[in-house]
């Protein structure tokens, strides 16, 4: 059994932490929780590569008895060791008292306490004690985003930046992209927008940015529900190029009946340009008819296309 701490629960606060806890308890329904520590039935090898885990270790669970705690700590201690004790509940001894007694017991065994040594976590939760050697996990990933994530690809530098951000954090990106395009990483899910528009009675010359975006959002929503992905991520940066109309984007989201996460939306334009140049992307963007597009033009019957058939093509 592994004792594991997830980044969002371990370091988060308030609503953010509560949301992470709910998501993790859904993800690991059989896990037992002691405050921010989860007891998981996984191997250390699995824990080393599981996104979201910031620290973990094979755990010994014992009662609150100093001799039992000392035996468990000795099991994980090396020549140099350091004790990290936390305590929740009412006890006669403080965390420092426990650390002092266990440390003295280990030093009598010929070991030496040193801040450069192996860290042994001792977590006291009322009458239950968790003892494990701390190992650093992958961390860095919001716990609610474990597993598959749909990433919308629009063949521009913003898409590449968004996808790189997603992949570098340990997600499993499923890239929804036009047929023939080449995302920089992730598993491709291609769609043929030319066929879709022709089937809907549109000619390609009438295919404009907002219509294509609405189609893509609805397709992403369908995929998310079908394959069980956690979220949909799109690369829009409010105030840049085609994405300069947040109100229209919100209307498109509403018609598509989905919520889009934009990992670059909260970056400043200067930071985005800096990142793009760092990766060698050219910064080009066209205005087209985005700002003049009528909402009524989005409310077309073609949005009820049979997506299952489309995906099989």
Tens of pLDDT along 281-303?
666 554 454 555 555 656 555 44
Among 36-40, 51-55, 106-110, 218-222, which is the least confidently predicted range? Answer: 51-55
pTM exceeding 0.85 = no
2-136 CATH pick, 3.30.2130.30, 3.30.830.10, 1.10.1760.20, 3.40.50.2020: 3.30.2130.30
Neighbours of 257 (CB within 10 A): 10
CA distance 24 to 220: 24
For residue 300, the cross-strand partners are none
Write out the H or E segment, with its range, that includes residue 87. strand 80-88
List C-alpha distances in Å: 185 to 124, 166, 193, 260, 266: 44, 10, 21, 20, 23
Among 152-156, 255-259, 309-313, which is the least confidently predicted range? Answer: 309-313
Split at pLDDT 50, 70, 90, the class of 63 is: very high
Burial class (CB in 10 A: 0-12, 13-18, 19+), 15: exposed
For residue 4, the cross-strand partners are 38, 56
pLDDT at 53 over 80: yes
Q: What is the DSSP string of 165-188?
A: HHHHTT-EEEEEEETT---SSSEE
Domain ranges of the chain: 2-136, 147-312
pLDDT at 223 over 90: no
Helix, strand and coil in the chain, % to nearest 5: 45, 20, 35
> Residue 148 has which token pair?
């598959």
- CATH dotted code for 147-312: 3.40.50.620
Split at pLDDT 50, 70, 90, the class of 64 is: very high
Site of tokens 């404009």 = 208
Among 80-89, 184-193, 233-242, 268-277, which is the least confidently predicted range? Answer: 233-242
The chain-wide mean pLDDT, for the chain, equals: 78
**pLDDT at residue 313, as a whole number:** 44
Q: Vertex 205, ends 150 and 308: CA angle to 5°?
A: 35
CA distance 173 to 14: 28
Split at pLDDT 50, 70, 90, the class of 204 is: low
Angle subtended by helix axes 269-278 and 157-168, to nearest 10: 80
The SS3 of residue 64 is coil
List C-alpha distances in Å: 205 to 160, 194, 223, 293, 302: 26, 11, 27, 15, 16
pLDDT at 207 over 60: yes
CA end-to-end span of the chain: 45
Task: Give the best-scoring range by mean pLDDT among 54-63, 195-204, 259-268.
Answer: 54-63
């Amino acid at each position: 059994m592994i004792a594991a701490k997830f980044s969002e629960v371990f370091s988060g606060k308030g609503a953010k932490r509560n949301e992470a806890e709910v998501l993790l308890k859904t993800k690991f329904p059989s896990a037992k929780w002691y405050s921010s520590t989860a007891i998981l039935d996984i191997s250390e090898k699995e824990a080393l590569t599981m996104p979201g885990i910031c620290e973990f270790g094979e755990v010994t669970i014992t009662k609150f008895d100093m001799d039992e705690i000392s035996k468990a700590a000795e099991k994980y201690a090396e020549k140099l060791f350091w004790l990290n004790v936390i305590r929740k509940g009412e006890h006669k001894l403080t965390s420092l008292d426990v650390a002092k007694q266990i440390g003295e017991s280990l030093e009598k065994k010929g070991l030496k306490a040193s801040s450069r040594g192996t860290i042994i976590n001792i977590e006291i939760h009322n009458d239950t004690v968790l003892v494990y050697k701390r190992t650093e996990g992958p961390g860095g990933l919001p716990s609610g985003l474990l597993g598959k994530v749909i990433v919308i690809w629009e063949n521009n530098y913003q898409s590449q930046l968004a996808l790189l951000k997603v992949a570098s954090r340990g997600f499993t990106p499923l890239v929804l992209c036009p047929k023939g395009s080449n995302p920089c990483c992730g598993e491709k899910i291609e769609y043929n927008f030319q066929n879709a528009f022709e089937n809907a009675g549109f000619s390609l010359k009438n295919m404009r940015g907002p219509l294509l975006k609405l189609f893509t959002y609805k397709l992403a929503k369908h995929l998310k529900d079908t394959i069980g992905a956690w979220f949909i991520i799109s690369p829009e940066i409010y105030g840049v190029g085609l994405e300069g109309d947040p109100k229209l984007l919100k209307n498109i989201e509403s018609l598509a009946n989905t919520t889009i996460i934009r990992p670059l939306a909260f970056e400043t334009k200067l930071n985005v340009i800096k990142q793009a140049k760092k990766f060698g992307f050219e910064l080009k963007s066209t205005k087209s008819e985005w700002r003049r597009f009528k909402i009524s033009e989005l409310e077309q019957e073609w949005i009820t296309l049979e997506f299952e058939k489309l995906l099989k093509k």
